[in-house]
Structure 1
Amino acid sequence: MVIVPTATIRGVRTTPPQLGSQPALREANSQRIVTAIRHHGALTQVEIAAATGLSQATVSTIVKHLVGQGVVDTRTTVRTGRRAQLVTLAQRSGLAVGVQIGSRSLRVLVGDSGYEGLSERVLPLPRDHRADTTLDRVALLIVDLLEDLGADLSDVVGVGIALPPSRSPGTERLRPVDAADEWHETDVAEVLSRRLGVPVVVEQDATAGAVGELRFGAGRGATDILYVRCSYLVNAGIVLGGRPFRGRRGLSGEVGHVEVDPSGAICTCGSRGCLNTVVGADALTDLLRISRPRITLRDLIALALEGDAGCRQVIADAGAAIGAVVAGLALALDPEKVVVGGELAQTGELLIGPLRDALSRRVPLAGVGGVDVVAGELGSESEVQGLVALAFDAAATGATASAGKEQT
């Protein structure tokens, strides 16, 4: 996995080469070796041979070539009582870590200063995961990933961590809209920084996704974008003039709490009829309770892609509802692009088509020079890639607190 979409990984092509020549064969084998190290972490040359199916002689030759290119590093280690050459991906000056804590999963990415992802892990989380146990898990996972790379915490310049909607970057705590939430009184930056001994920057997940797509994905070349994250809940990240805009209290982009049904259900924030009560995961799956009583959001997405009529209708209606709210935000900010990400974006035009149509019905947003509505290019990587970039930004400016504490 590479943060900057490019045709090479430190000199190794990421697209299949034209076979039939010795250089092309070596290039293909080089890619297999780099992929194996990226997937498994540090490996000896014997282990690389086993993982790739290449001969040990071929591995030895290619590793020497990759060392010369600066793609990998080697060091002596001991395995099963014998000396061996341990091969790791070469590190550029300093590492940063991106951590996304979602509603149902945890994703951790270690990247170098060239914005290249070196190691990544995704773990499931229980629905009501606790702050203390989750942050303990994050700290242990970061240490494990660094060890796999032959690195340690002294190599890390910072950690960027994203929290789900309604957790305020400005205070590192959950805003008091749901006092029952275990994260309510947790100072995430302070707790994680104390555990790891490195600076921590806290960001809202959609803002992190916006930064990721702006720098490395569908927003490249733009300066003003909206990133709409359609997941278990809906929220948006805003970038204006190339910089994240968060608002005075980190509330900007909380489109999930815009009222869409004055007589609707009470939201977790305490207001009635918020967008999240209509297009949140629970609301969408509840619409199918008669035909599919135990369906999950993942099931809903998979069935919609397989052509299930009911699931496709649910996704389309969600896109239209989200688009109606995003249209108002787009009219206020006049962005160059609206980039759509999150789990629901996996359905492509099933979701994005109705969302785009809702924006186009607002005449100022339609026609020549109107806002461009596109799918994110980074998929589930948008947030963690943005967080790695934000962690390096914070290190470069000497910032050690949450990005949300500064108005940008």
Structure 2
Amino acid sequence: MTTRHRSRNPGSQTALRQSNQQRIISSLVSGGPSTQAEISRNTGLSNATVSNIVKALAERGIVSTAPTTSSGRRALSVSLSGENGAVAVGIDFGRRHVRIVLSGLDYQVIASESVSLPLGHSARVALEAAAVLLDEVLESNRVSPTLVLGIGVGIPGPIDRRTQTVIEGAILPEWVGITHSAIEARLNFPVYIDNDANLGALAEVTWGPHNGTENLVFVKIGSGIGAGLILGGLPFGGNMGVTGEIGHTPVHDHGLLCRCGNRGCLETVASTTVMLELLGRTSPTTIATSDIVRAALAGDHATLRIIDDAGLAVGRSVASIVNLVNPETVVIGGPLAGLGELLLDPIRRGLAVYAVPMLSENTELVMSSLGEEAEALGAVALVLRHAGLHTPIG
């Protein structure tokens, strides 16, 4: 396998060129095959800028060109490539894994692969593993790197969108301080980053049965607990891009000390980390999250009690969101999705107790159907949206 050594110089000119490229692709998506002059009128870009970008896109196979006539004059028709055209990549980084999803511009998934990462891995190790896996996925699917439109990256932690930097509170403390430019420099493609819960929400309204839902909340329960919000049909990022941090909302005033510095946060009673710690006290062997699901489905009393307690606490926190934004749907995702009603039932009971009755009765509570691919699929959707390809597949 060959390794890429393409040179990139991230900066304002690069960002401007990427923005102009996305405007041209968006114009082709909405307007179909167009002449360069028509693209110039539709985007407001100069003829020279359009010509240069179209040439670069054609060299990468993202667009194809053909001679035509317009108003009796020779012109160049530009269209998005069909087969063997551009692809979008989604990468999801977790505490113990990195997953990559490859999709065409038509939102059709081409491939999904993952590899394990060591617990406590550094950002450098994770990015290296992602770069190697990406090369393998592209090669095995016979996709040239030149056809990669961009990469969406999901990180389990808050990201300050003003500086595009991972900040304190990340479930991966080794990633705190990592910047967008550092990720982009290692992966050698245009990169778009966001919190994994935000991407889970984006995936649900794109690939899930709730695609097109105007107001949706995606709650990821894992080593950390976070919520992604779709409000008015759009991802909601708030002032800094840091939203949905329900894992750090107190549910017990005198509870355990949380890694954020507060006491009794939701993560101290409902994260998979806490569940594993509690169950591990009586287990002769090391257990994993998959063991929680397996034991619960088998009817293990201790496991079911822990899940019930956790679900009630999650329901209390979800009730606060429901009271505040009145979503149509709340989707529960993460590695415990296989529990189904065993987890949904206590969450539903907690929601009923702490939410306004009319709101809880009219809020759909469901488990995610996207499984472990949700966050990576959301990362793909992030790339396609930045390119102007907003049409969901439903």
Contact 1:174–1:186 under 8 Å retained in 2: yes
Distance 1:169 1:377, change over 3 A: farther
Tell me what 2:269 maps to. 278
Tell me what 2:211 maps to. 220
Structure 1 segment 186-335 matched on structure 2, within 5 A: 186-187=178-179, 189-292=180-283, 294-335=286-327
Q: Within the alignment, does 1:355 sit opposite 2:353 as a pair?
A: no
The amino acid that maps onto 1:117 is: V
Distance 1:214 1:286, change over 3 A: same
The amino acid that maps onto 2:238 is: G
2:121 is paired with a residue whose SS is: coil
Distance 1:268 1:169, change over 3 A: farther
Aligned-partner Cα distance in 2 for 1:368–1:310: 29
Distance 1:288 1:140, change over 3 A: closer
Tell me what 2:57 maps to. none
Aligned-partner Cα distance in 2 for 1:134–1:250: 23
Distance 1:269 1:174, change over 3 A: farther
2:387 is paired with a residue whose SS is: helix
Q: Deviations over 1:198-244 (max 9, x none)?
A: 21000110110101111211322410000011112111100001111
Structure 1 segment 123-138 matched on structure 2, within 5 A: 123-138=115-130
2:89 is paired with a residue whose SS is: strand
**Number of residue pairs aligned between Structure 1 and Structure 2:** 307
The alpha-carbon deviation at position 262 of structure 1 amounts to 2.0
Q: Within the alignment, does 1:148 sit opposite 2:140 as a pair?
A: yes
Aligned-partner Cα distance in 2 for 1:106–1:391: 18
Distance 1:368 1:339, change over 3 A: closer
Structure 1 segment 58-137 matched on structure 2, within 5 A: 91=83, 93-137=85-129
Contact 1:103–1:127 under 8 Å retained in 2: yes
Distance 1:360 1:149, change over 3 A: same
2:118 is paired with a residue whose SS is: coil
Structure 1 segment 153-168 matched on structure 2, within 5 A: 153-168=145-160
The alpha-carbon deviation at position 392 of structure 1 amounts to 1.1
The alpha-carbon deviation at position 267 of structure 1 amounts to 1.4
Tell me what 2:335 maps to. 343
The amino acid that maps onto 2:317 is: V
The alpha-carbon deviation at position 177 of structure 1 amounts to 4.3
2:388 is paired with a residue whose SS is: helix
The alpha-carbon deviation at position 162 of structure 1 amounts to 0.2
The alpha-carbon deviation at position 319 of structure 1 amounts to 0.9
Could you tell me the percent identity over the aligned residues? 33
Structure 1 segment 167-186 matched on structure 2, within 5 A: 167-177=159-169, 181-186=173-178
Distance 1:122 1:179, change over 3 A: closer
The alpha-carbon deviation at position 179 of structure 1 amounts to 12
Tell me what 2:369 maps to. 377
Distance 1:389 1:365, change over 3 A: farther
Q: Give the alignment's TM-score, normalised by structure 2.
A: 0.73
1:108 is paired with a residue whose SS is: strand
Structure 1 gap segments, 5+ residues each: 1-89, 398-408
Greater mean deviation of Cα atoms: 346-355 or 296-305: 296-305
Aligned-partner Cα distance in 2 for 1:108–1:235: 21
Q: Give the alignment's TM-score, normalised by structure 1.
A: 0.71
Distance 1:92 1:320, change over 3 A: farther
Aligned-partner Cα distance in 2 for 1:123–1:139: 12
Greater mean deviation of Cα atoms: 139-148 or 101-110: 139-148
The alpha-carbon deviation at position 300 of structure 1 amounts to 1.4
Greater mean deviation of Cα atoms: 129-138 or 164-173: 164-173
Distance 1:376 1:144, change over 3 A: same
Aligned-partner Cα distance in 1 for 2:248–2:259: 9
Distance 1:240 1:345, change over 3 A: same
Contact 1:218–1:339 under 8 Å retained in 2: no
Distance 1:179 1:111, change over 3 A: closer
Contact 1:209–1:382 under 8 Å retained in 2: yes
The amino acid that maps onto 1:391 is: V
2:323 is paired with a residue whose SS is: helix
Distance 1:191 1:152, change over 3 A: farther
The amino acid that maps onto 2:173 is: D
Aligned-partner Cα distance in 1 for 2:244–2:368: 17
2:205 is paired with a residue whose SS is: helix
Aligned-partner Cα distance in 2 for 1:365–1:332: 13
